């Protein structure tokens, strides 16, 4: 082989290599949108689950340009009935199904997507930092009417809670009130965000919210268990120390299929669970 022929062979090999490397590089770093998924689904229900649903929907749609996921709140009751009646593809709930709901919607399937803590929040100026569950019950049944009775400022307690469609309210009623009624005069609001906002502008207020709404501008009360004061956070939810922890659900009519399954599977993936943590909730072990 002549010298010119050898040079030609080297140039040809080099060009082939460049083409191969370019193809590999494009596959690794080019547009990663998954165009195999397409269509529209509706997700509705719990305002506690709402931040997780919206953030994961945004991430899923970013990687699937032909997908439209429409997310809205309304409360866990709305999530159950919408999924059960088929008016939504996925329902969100921060509580378990009632016996009546199981009877009415026997094929409704729950998928646990995260763990949450029910946090008691007060205005940032309130000096009370911890309460027992019995003291919280006493606040909401009218036994305590002024913060000074609990070691705090001389300030009338303003009760803030959720409306009847709320799964957070159902959980509060079960875990703290033992199904007793709250005293008359409690403000009944339709979302965690509304509770957070009202407490932040009302010095005497106390409210209950999901963990993702427990930070500034308010502060969350620790729950006294024995001689310990337990903070509402992911560590204490996972180790079982915080007494007010609960699962969060996505609901489907029967086993999830199609785009609804793809979306729920994404929430359960490593990337989805990272988003769960970023939104202030506790990822599944």
Please indicate, yes or no, whether residues 199 and 243 belong to a single structural domain of this protein.
yes
Residue 122: its pLDDT value, please?
Answer: 98
Please state, rounded to an integer, the average pLDDT across all residues of the chain. 89
96-117 mean pLDDT: 96
Please indicate, yes or no, whether residues 142 and 184 belong to a single structural domain of this protein.
yes
CA distance 74 to 234: 26
Please indicate, yes or no, whether residues 233 and 250 belong to a single structural domain of this protein.
yes
Please indicate, yes or no, whether residues 177 and 256 belong to a single structural domain of this protein.
yes
Please indicate, yes or no, whether residues 119 and 201 belong to a single structural domain of this protein.
yes
Question: Which range of residues forms the domain containing residue 136?
Answer: 38-285
Please indicate, yes or no, whether residues 9 and 133 belong to a single structural domain of this protein.
no
Secondary element (H or E) of residue 41: strand 39-45
Please indicate, yes or no, whether residues 44 and 18 belong to a single structural domain of this protein.
no
Highest mean pLDDT among 73-77, 95-99, 197-201: 197-201
Q: What is the pLDDT of residues 232-285, one digit of tens each?
A: 998 898 888 999 999 999 999 999 999 999 999 999 999 999 999 998 899 986
Strand order in the sheet with 228-230: 130-131, 222-225, 228-230
Q: pTM of whole model > 0.85?
A: no
Please indicate, yes or no, whether residues 26 and 43 belong to a single structural domain of this protein.
no
CA distance 26 to 255: 37
On the question of pLDDT at 186 being above 80, the answer is yes
Q: Is the torsion defined by CA of 112, 51, 180, 220 positive or negative?
A: positive
First to last CA, the chain: 65
Instruction: Give me the CATH number covering residue 187.
Output: 3.40.190.10
Q: Is the torsion defined by CA of 224, 229, 231, 237 positive or negative?
A: negative
Q: Which two tokens stand for residue 186?
A: 């409690």
Q: What is the pLDDT of residues 6-36, one digit of tens each?
A: 554 454 444 444 444 444 444 443 334 444 7
Residue 37: its pLDDT value, please?
Answer: 82
Residue 4: its pLDDT value, please?
Answer: 54
Please indicate, yes or no, whether residues 26 and 143 belong to a single structural domain of this protein.
no
CA geometry: angle at 216 spanning 210 and 222, to 5°? 60
Please indicate, yes or no, whether residues 217 and 121 belong to a single structural domain of this protein.
yes
Please indicate, yes or no, whether residues 193 and 273 belong to a single structural domain of this protein.
yes
Distances (CA, A) of 39 to 35, 42, 64, 69, 118: 11, 10, 10, 8, 35
Count up the domains in the chain and report the number: 2
Please indicate, yes or no, whether residues 19 and 95 belong to a single structural domain of this protein.
no
Beta bridge partners, 40, equal 68
Q: What is the pLDDT of residues 142-170, one digit of tens each?
A: 999 999 999 999 999 999 999 988 989 99
């Amino acid at each position: 082989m002549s010298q010119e022929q050898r040079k030609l062979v080297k140039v040809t090999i080099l060009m082939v290599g460049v083409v191969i490397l370019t193809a590999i590089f494009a596959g690794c770093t080019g547009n990663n949108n998954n165009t195999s998924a397409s269509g529209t689904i509706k997700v509705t229900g719990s305002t506690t689950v709402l931040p997780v649903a919206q953030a994961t929907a945004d991430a899923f749609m970013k990687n699937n340009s032909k997908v439209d996921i429409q997310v809205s709140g309304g409360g866990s009751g709305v999530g159950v009935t919408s999924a059960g009646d088929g008016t939504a593809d996925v329902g969100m709930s921060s509580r378990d199904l009632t016996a009546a709901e199981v009877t009415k919607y026997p094929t409704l399937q729950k998928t646990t997507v995260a763990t949450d803590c029910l946090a008691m929040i007060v205005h940032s100026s309130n000096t009370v930092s911890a309460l027992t569950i019995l003291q919280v019950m006493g606040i909401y049944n009218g036994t305590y009417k002024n913060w000074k009775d609990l070691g705090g400022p001389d300030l009338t307690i303003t009760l803030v809670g959720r409306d009847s469609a709320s799964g957070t309210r159902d959980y509060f009623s079960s875990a703290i009130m033992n199904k007793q009624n709250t005293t008359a005069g409690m403000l009944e609001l339709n979302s965690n965000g509304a509770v957070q906002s009202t407490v932040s502008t009302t010095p005497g207020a106390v409210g209950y919210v999901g963990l993702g709404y427990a930070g500034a501008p308010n502060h969350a009360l620790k729950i006294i268990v024995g001689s310990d004061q337990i903070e509402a956070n992911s560590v204490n939810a996972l180790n079982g120390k915080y007494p007010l922890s609960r699962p969060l659900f996505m609901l489907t009519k029967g086993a999830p299929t199609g785009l609804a399954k793809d979306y729920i599977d994404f929430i359960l993936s490593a990337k989805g669970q990272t988003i769960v943590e970023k939104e202030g909730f506790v990822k599944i072990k």
